[in-house]
Structure 1
Amino acid sequence: MPVTCFIRYQIDPFQRAAFVAYAEAWGRIIPRCGGALIGYFVPSEGTNDIAWGLIGFDSLAAYERYRATLRADAEGRANFERAQAQRFILREERTWLEGVAGTLNRAAEVTP
């Protein structure tokens, strides 16, 4: 994937289950709208209020098409609205990343 949208969430740690349900809904919505969902990640140990989502796109133009499709998606709008109503996301930051050639999906080399 040429570009990846890296989303850092500060979540209410007492509403972790609500965030998990929100992320699971994106598992259906994002691919349908044209994004390549890499995954959502919630705290397991350590800091209990930071979660991440990663979505890949072929280009920033593909992201813009995705956004337009997402705005028209009823389930996507409902998921955003639920997050706003329940307030389990306290803060959200987006960063755009490019993968470094030779490092993506690289398996361990086996020495004979």
Structure 2
Amino acid sequence: MITCVVRYTVDPKKITAFEQFARRWMALVQAHGGTHHGYFLPAEGASDEALALFSFPGLAAYEEYRQLFGRDPEFIEADRIRDESGCVLRYERTFMRPLLPGDDGSA
């Protein structure tokens, strides 16, 4: 399993648009073989950081999903929310391997 962690810098004045963007991407990840663990949004103070975590069975499955970017109409529409609203100022993507409760290390 591979987990993608996306760290966003968001415009705090455009959180509603970011939530719309996030809901759309959660559905797309789920519909294309991944498990979305949610978006984590600013809750207190003047924070402009948000996180998203989602997993795919492996890098090959993630790459299949990535092939739809810029080509599939639903993916294009999801990105349009971000682009037209300006809710995301920047983002960075990191891949991690989860260690989950019950993992005994005998992989």
Structure 2-normalised TM-score? 0.85
Does residue 29 of structure 2 align to residue 30 of structure 1? yes
**Residue 24 of structure 1, CA deviation:** 1.0
Whichever of the two has the greater Rg, that structure is 1
- The letter of the residue matching 1:54 is L
Deviation per CA, 1:32-72, whole angstroms, max 9, x where unpaired? 12221111111112452000111101111111011124544
Structure 1 unaligned blocks of 5 or more: 107-112
**Alignment match, 2:19:** 20
Aligned length: 102
List, as ranges, runs of 4+ consecutive aligned residues in structure 1 with deviation greater than 6 Å. none
Percent identity between matched residues is 36
**Alignment match, 2:62:** 63
CA RMSD of aligned residues (A): 1.6
Structure 2 unaligned blocks of 5 or more: 103-107
Structure 1-normalised TM-score? 0.81
- The letter of the residue matching 2:81 is R
Q: Do 1:11 and 1:91's aligned partners in 2 also have CA atoms closer than 8 Å? A: yes
